[in-house]
Amino acid sequence: MAERKRRKLKLLAETINLDEKKATEEEESLKLQTWADLPVELLELILCHLTLEDNVRASAVCRRWHKVAVAVRVVNQSPWLMYFPKYGSLYEFYDPAERKTYSLELPELQGSRACYTKDGWLLLYRPRNHGVFFFNPFNRHMIKLPRFELTYQMVAFSDAPTSDLCVVFTIKHISPTVVAISTCRPGDSEWTTVNHQNRLPFVSSIWNKMVFCSGMFYCLSLTGWLGVYDPLLRAWSVLHVPPPRCPENFFAKNWWKGKFMAEHDGDILVIYTCNTETPIIFKLDHSEMVWEEMQTLNGVTLFASFLSSHSRTELPGAMRNVVYFSKVRFFGKRCISYSVDDRRYYPRKECHDWGEQDPFENIWIEPPRDASLN
C-alpha cells in the first residue's frame, strides 16, 4: 500500500516537472520570437495601411515581410465617383478607398452632361447649343471642340486632350447597312465624318459601350457584337466574334443598363449584371476570337459605370479582385461592389437594379495623386 502511494507521488512529481519544463520552453520560445514571426494575416492587416514609402521600408525587414509587403503594396490610386447634380453647380466626389465624399463648386459645367472620362479629364456635351468640350475638374482647365450634335450616341476619346495623340470618336446609324463615324482632335476647326459599310448584327445606340485599347476604339453594341475602328487607317469593321453567352434567365427588364466594358493591359473586359444574378465577366480572346468567362481578376480592380469604366492594379488588398459599381449606399458611406473571390456582393444583398438609375448621374474619374478637396 505504501509502495503504491510512493509510485503515485513519484509519477505526480514527474508530471509536474514535465509541465514546468514545457512552460519554461514555451516562455523561452516566446522570448526568442520577434516581429518577423507575426502571423501572415496580422502582417497583411498592418502593412496594407502603410504609405508606399513605409511599405518599402517594411519590406526590407526580412524575406517574409518583403513577400507580404509587396503583396499589399498600394501603388495606384482608385478613381473617384463624380456626381452630376440635377440643379445648381455643387458636384460631389466619392472616394471608395477612404469612403469619403468631397464637394466642389463647378459653375463651368452647368447645363452640360458627361460623355466620357480618361486620365482625369471629362468630355462633356451641352445639348442646348451642341457645345462639346474637355474639362479637368481638379485644375479647372477647359479645352473646347467644334460644335457637334451628340443627341443619341456615345462618345469616347483615346488620350488626354493635352496629348497630340488625342482623338474623339463617335458613331451612329445612317441606314441598316451604313454607319457614320465622326472624329475630331483638339485644335480642329470641324469634325470629320465618314460613312462606312456595316454588318447587320451591329446596332449603334445610346446603350453602346466604348473603350480605346492598343490604338483602336472598341464599340460593344446593344446586342453584344463588337465593332472596331482604327483612327489611323480610318477603317471600321465588326469582328467575327459571337456575343458573350449568358444564362437564359439572365436577361430581364432593363438588362442592357447593367452592361459595362473596360480595358486592361491590352485586354477587353465585359461585365454583365442583372438584378440578383451573379455578375458575369468576360475577356476577349483575340487569338481564338471568342469571349472567355473569367473566374478571377488576378488582382485587378474594375470600376464600372454607364458612361465609362476603368481598371486598376496594386490597390489596397481588400479592393483587389473586386468590381465597384457606380452606386453608393448607407448615406454615402459604402459603394456597392462584387467580390470575385467571395462570389458575393458587398454590402450583402445590395445588388442593384440598373433600370432605377439615371445613367448620366455619375461617372468614374481619375483624381490627381495630390488631390485634396474640402
Tens-digit pLDDT profile for residues 293-313: 999 999 999 999 999 999 998
Average pLDDT over residues 118-129: 96
DSSP string, 162-216: TSTT--EEEEEEEETTEEEEEEE-TT-SS-EEEEEE--TT----TT-EEEEETTE
Residue 255 lies in a domain: no
Whether residue 204 sits in one domain with residue 124: yes
Measured distance CA(180)–CA(174) in Å, rounded: 6
Amino acid 65: pLDDT:
77
Are residues 195 and 206 in contact, defined by beta-carbon separation less than 8 angstroms? no
Residue type, 269: L
Structural domain contains residue 18: no
In a domain, 344, yes or no: no
pLDDT recorded at residue 371: 61
Distance CA 155, CA 339 (A): 30
Range with the poorest average pLDDT among 158-162, 280-284, 325-329: 325-329
Checking if the pLDDT of 191 tops 80, the result is yes
- Reference 326, options 302, 293, 297; nearest CA is 302
- Name the residue type at position 342: D
The C-alpha cell that represents 257 in the structure block: 443598363
In this predicted structure, which of 38-42, 116-120, 139-143, 201-205 has the lowest mean pLDDT? Answer: 201-205
Give the integer Cα–Cα distance in Å for 264 and 282.
12
Average pLDDT over residues 229-239: 94
- Max alpha carbon distance in the chain (Å)? 114
State which of 241, 268, 298 marks the end of a domain.
241
pTM score of the predicted model:
0.80
pLDDT at position 81 is 95
Residues 128 and 180 in one domain: yes
CA distance 38 to 42: 7
Asked if residue 9 belongs to a domain, the reply is no
Does 116 lie in the same domain as 69?
no
Phi, psi (deg, nearest 5) at residue 28: -65, -40
Assess if residue 213 is contained within a domain: yes
Question: Are 66 and 161 in a shared domain?
Answer: no
User: pLDDT digit string (tens) for 13-71?
Assistant: 666 666 666 666 556 555 556 666 778 778 777 777 776 667 778 777 888 878 877 77
CA distances for 228 relative to 105, 208, 342, angstroms: 38, 13, 34
Q: Is residue 140 part of a domain?
A: yes
| Element (DSSP H or E) covering residue 322 | strand 322-329
> Which residue did the predictor score with more confidence, 292 or 277?
292
Give the cell for residue 275.
438584378
Do 126 and 218 belong together in one domain?
yes
Instruction: Please answer whether residues 301 and 313 qualify as being in contact, where contact means their C-beta atoms are separated by less than 8 angstroms.
Output: yes
pLDDT at 22: 62
* C-alpha distances out from residue 291 to 144, 226, 299, Å: 38, 11, 20
Strand 121-126 to 113-118 pairing? antiparallel
**Of 74, 95, 119, which residue sits at a domain end?**
74
- CA dist 73 and 68 (Å) reads 8
CA–CA gap between residue 130 and residue 220 (Å, rounded): 25
Rounded to an integer, the average pLDDT of 148-171 is 93
Specify the 3-state DSSP secondary structure of 142: strand
d(CA 137, CA 140): 5
Residue 13's pLDDT is 60
Domains of the chain: total: 2
Q: How far apart are CA 201 and CA 226, in angstroms?
A: 9
pLDDT of 251-279, one tens digit each?
555 556 678 999 999 999 999 887 667 88
Instruction: Out of 3-17, 30-44, 325-339, give the one with best mean pLDDT.
Output: 325-339
Instruction: Report the CATH number that the domain containing residue 158 is assigned in CATH.
Output: 2.40.128
**Which cell goes with 77?**
490610386
Indicate whether 58 and 165 sit together in one domain.
no
119 and 52 within one domain: no
Confidence (pLDDT) at 168: 98
pLDDT for position 107: 95
CA atoms within 13 A on the CB side of 345: 21
The domain of 172 spans: 111-241
- Averaged pLDDT for residues 125-135: 96
Q: Single out the residue in 241, 257, 282 at which a domain terminates.
A: 241
Three-state secondary structure call for residue 6: helix
Q: Tell me: do 58 and 125 sit in the same domain.
A: no
Looking at the chain, the whole-number percentage of residues with pLDDT higher than 90 is 48
Q: Looking at the structure, do residues 64 and 125 belong to the same domain, yes or no? A: no
pLDDT at residue 11 tops 90: no
Q: What is the 3-state secondary structure (H, E, C) of 249-281?
A: HHCCCCHHHHEEEEEECCEEEEEEEECCEEEEE
Do 226 and 173 belong to one domain? yes
Same domain, 123 and 225: yes
Let me know if residue 319 belongs to a domain. no
Assess whether 48 and 120 both reside in one domain: no
Residue 66 CA to residue 88 CA, distance in Å, equals 50
